[in-house]
Structure 1
């Protein structure tokens, strides 16, 4: 809407230039055959919304800004492999990598690759990023210019008359309404026609089907490799060390026991979760990575309460008078948290019921989305702080390559105080073999060998029950019947082709 990347990525994984003039390749001389550099030629004549020209300086600054740990950018991982960026001229940049890089389109591509205006954000480097007014008043190169924003309510934007694609966009204004629930959002498109488009429609499938009966819009389900899963805390969220809970200096009092983790994996009723809640919007899975050719055939999932009980019995976890298990004075009680969404609370309830049948006491906690997904390091109830035992989470595969996605289990990515809880590894699991495999995949140029590395990473995570994959969650949209040009990509934002939408009378 406001900011743009050098390129987007379509459904098939093809790179589509946006602020770039062309897609780099080995054939056109834009990519080194050994994967050590990529050269982007930038589109000329592009201006920021304040009229200043877009140049190579903005691209270089974006890398410097996002890669700076003091910025605490959630996209920082995409830029870690860059050694330097050379300014060839005003409209050409050369990214030189620290090592051979098989997937060079991580930085500056898709939703995590938005380019920032240097002249706007430069005063807010070195840890002052949260003070930048443009965080709430964006100024980009996109098809629409910011008008106003009421947090938790509505955003207004107007057409950018100087947009760099001729005769685009089609719509003069955009109103984006937030703060509602998925059902009311879907109804506003499918039945009342108040809005033209809605995304993130996480609701029970039977409710969605009833809403679909409206004549004003259609439901579109875009297949993805996005995963909904249960995270298992490896650290102690109840003990504070050096002013930090869930510190790497602690271990969880019982979730590091393989018996407990294996039992938990047997107590997730995926089939019921799909049939009773998600329906066509999800597919059950035993894998964390679910995009081919990186899908493991070595894993299986099973729901078996009897087997879980037998495991816990053999591990010395004995039931007390109230039916709850304990061992060495430790009561088997877990706090299971998630974001405050009715559909996720239903998933939590199904899991809680099975845990109870195995003698595990489970308290459910839900946190409002604006808090749960906040990047504020002072907010203790965020997903990344993970001050609970179990956490129902989702992770989006934002690019066709799994390198960034699988960063979620690298030791150095553990979310902690020192990195303002911006690390990708929320379970805080650490495993030397996994780290070696991930590093090897960073530079492996043979596609088949590289795929095997990711499959082994997935298997390590599943075999050690670091997380429990529940299902692949597909993207659900409601689109007005009058809107034409809608196109879905699992690797780009929900508005990635908005500039090409039109309306048919």
Structure 2
């Protein structure tokens, strides 16, 4: 069975073409980056927060990654293995990667195949709570025949074997630095987690969690002329408005990420002429996640939001469906994102081949229909206080999200709609640096999910959704046993869903893979495990003086920071 070339894209085994930067290493001085969601860690294996993954991508890198068109391209590897070039076995049970010659870690030691093997061991160590464990699904063993060769063996045929060590979410970490950080010890290795030794264009000189990262050019970076910038300040915190102004109006910063701002606000900022807004659609979906477990503070710590305690009313599909029916997604998109958003009823909106049309009824708000559904399910307001109840249980939800003007606007509208159908709604917003952080001791992370519903957006590396859709497998639910890591925030568990995940892992035909991905999406949507709201375009901004920026919605936005340079103005 041959690997379909459509799974890779046209540039699968073609090295990334050099870009336009002309400066020698460090010649362009200092670079200022601002992420209003401040990184809390530089280890993507201990955080599912995009802010942490992207910051870390300046320092640690994968074997291959995705370019701005979604094509898989070699990075630390010499080429992308395929069945055609002999890198993927004919039976699809192994993939062989070859490291580029002369690669060095930022401490000057050689990068070897043992580092790659160790990365797999680190993420799969028992009790470690790896946030990216789905990338290593079905890996049976990793062999290292020599210092530059890595053979990944799978327990089943893998028509798409590009989960392990591919993309910003699955980079290579140094064995020497992390070898004493396996399993439950992983969160304790603060020095390594805050300042990993890497192969990327920059190295960390100071890390202040939820605040500022100072970096300098990696003297052992594989291209002797890059990066053009000698030092970097990576400022975190504040809000999207301040970040946008810092690039577009005042010129204090060179790059601002994730400008989640109303369209008219962005337009006004851009009119100052200091910088330019860049945007592109990918797979980023703003959604409300439904907690199927009980987050009540009355439960003992360690039992809250765990599968042993089902939610008292959100386990009723009629309640979840009514909550979805009450939402006007068109209005949310208009006020929050304008042309940079599209209302959606799917958690998997792209690429087009994977986009389902089976759930489009959610695009029409139906308040009266939601009320009738709750009436039929026996949820009634018997005492006239505006809150429906049944068997002594009231429909009262805590709705949390990160602190951001657009998200608070969404919260206010959705609270109004839910209360209109008889669901009392309390709003809570949490500083984004904390909410999207990976601290297993914090009660306020989106993984721990100590609320009834929560709203955020995320996406996946590349254009193939196999690993992404595996996020909602039973074993991906965050819990005390896995350090509250994992991406199955609703704690959804259905053997039928897991069976689809397993089938897709062994399916090579692109049309059949699309059918399976749509089936998984539809199962989640039609059970109202989450409520998609807006298919969001990535919106960022950079200074007019910053060259080489290529917005990438399929990998880290900072994927080609080694090629950034200062323009002559």
TM range, smaller chain? over 0.9
Q: How big is the alpha-carbon RMSD for the aligned residues of Structure 1 and Structure 2? A: 1.6
Paired position in structure 2 for 1:421: 484
CA contact (8 A) 2:195 2:203 kept: no
Q: Cα distance 1:412–1:131, how it changes in 2: closer, same or farther (>3 A)?
A: closer
Q: Deviations over 1:342-397 (max 9, x none)?
A: 22111111100001111111111112223222322222222112121111122212
Contact 1:237/1:388 (<8 A) preserved: yes
Contact 1:230 1:469 in 2 (8 A): yes
1:52 Cα deviation (Å)?
A: 0.7
Correspondence 1:253-268 to 2 at 5 A:
253-268=312-327
8 Å CA contact retained: 2:342, 2:535: yes
**2:376 alignment partner, one of 311, 314, 319:** 314
* 1:162-194: CA deviation from partner (whole Å, max 9, x where unpaired): 311242222222121112211111111111111
Q: Aligned pair 1:38/2:95, yes or no? A: yes
**Correspondence for 1:430:** 493
Aligned counterpart, 1:208: 266
Structure 1 residue 243 displacement after superposition: 4.1
Structure 1 155/415 Cα, relative in aligned 2: closer, same or farther at 3 Å?
closer
Could you tell me how far 1:71 is from its partner in structure 2? 2.4
* Matching of residue 224 in structure 1 with residue 282 in structure 2: yes
Task: Give the C-alpha shift of residue 399 in structure 1.
Answer: 2.4
Indicate which of 132, 135, 143 corresponds to 1:86: 143
Select 2:358's aligned residue among 298, 313, 320.
Answer: 298
SS where residue 40 of structure 1 aligns?
Answer: strand
Instruction: Report the Cα distance in structure 2 between the residues aligned to 1:468 and 1:41, rounded to whole angstroms.
Output: 42
Task: Give distance in 2, aligned partners of 1:180 and 1:246.
Answer: 30
Q: What is the match of residue 85 of structure 2?
A: 28
CA–CA separation in structure 2 for the residues paired with 1:76 and 1:354:
37
Query: Aligned to 1:428, what secondary structure does the other structure show?
Result: coil
Q: TM-score, normalised by structure 2?
A: 0.86
CA 1:221 to 1:295, structure 2 compared with 1: closer, same or farther past 3 Å?
same
Select between 26-35 and 264-273 the one with higher mean Cα deviation: 26-35
Q: Which among 302, 307, 331 is matched to residue 248 of structure 1?
A: 307
Equivalent residue, structure 2, for 1:67: 124
What aligned pairs does 1:2-401 form with structure 2 within 5 A after superposition? 2-132=59-189, 133-238=191-296, 240=299, 243-291=302-350, 292-300=352-360, 301=362, 302-319=364-381, 320-401=383-464
The answer (yes or no) to whether the contact 2:127–2:183 under 8 Å persists in 1 is yes
Relative contact order: is structure 1 or structure 2 higher (C-alpha 8 Å, sep ≥ 6)? 2
How far did residue 55 of structure 1 move?
A: 0.9
- Specify the SS of the correspondent of 1:293: helix
Taking the aligned partners of 1:80 and 1:69, their CA distance within structure 2 comes to: 14
Residues 199-208 or 231-240, more deviating: 231-240
Q: Which runs of 5+ in 2 are unaligned?
A: 1-57
Which whole-Å CA distance do the structure 1 matches of 2:302 and 2:207 have between them?
36
**Partner residue, 2:511:** 448
Distance 2:533 2:301 in 1: 35
Q: Distance in 2 between matches of 1:149 and 1:498?
A: 19
| Aligned-partner Cα distance in 2 for 1:153–1:252 | 36
The whole-number CA distance in structure 2 between the counterparts of 1:429 and 1:390 is: 14
1:13 Cα shift? 2.4
Deviation at 1:150, TM superposition (A): 2.9
Q: Which whole-Å CA distance do the structure 2 matches of 1:440 and 1:83 have between them?
A: 17
Between the aligned partners of 1:451 and 1:298, the Cα distance in structure 2 is 14
1 CA distance for matches of 2:475 and 2:183?
A: 21
In structure 1, distance between residues paired with 2:470 and 2:114:
29
Asked whether the equivalents of residues 72 and 462 of structure 2 are also in contact (C-alpha less than 8 Å), the reply is: no
User: C-alpha separation between the residues in 2 aligned to 1:30 and 1:72?
Assistant: 31
Distance, in Å, in 2 between the alignment partners of 1:198 and 1:395 is 18
Aligned to 2:540: 477
Runs of 4+ in 1 over 4 A off after TM superposition: none
Question: Alignment partner of 2:425: what SS?
Answer: strand
Distance 1:110 1:70 in 2: 24
Residues 67, 80 of structure 1: 8 Å contact kept? no
8 Å CA contact retained: 1:241, 1:247: no
Kept in 1, the 8 Å contact 2:263–2:338? The answer is: yes
Provide closer, same or farther for how the CA distance between residues 151 and 422 of structure 1 changes in structure 2, counting only shifts above 3 A. closer
- Number of residue pairs aligned between Structure 1 and Structure 2: 505
Cα distance in structure 2, aligned partners of 1:233 and 1:329: 20
8 Å CA contact 1:159, 1:173 repeated in 2? yes
Residues 68 and 76 in structure 1, CA contact (< 8 A), matched pair in contact too: no
Structure 2 counterpart SS, 1:308: helix
TM-score by length of 1: 0.96
Structure 1 position 255, deviation (Å): 1.3
Native 8 Å contact 2:127 2:481 kept in 1: no
The answer as to 2:520 corresponding to 1:461 is: no
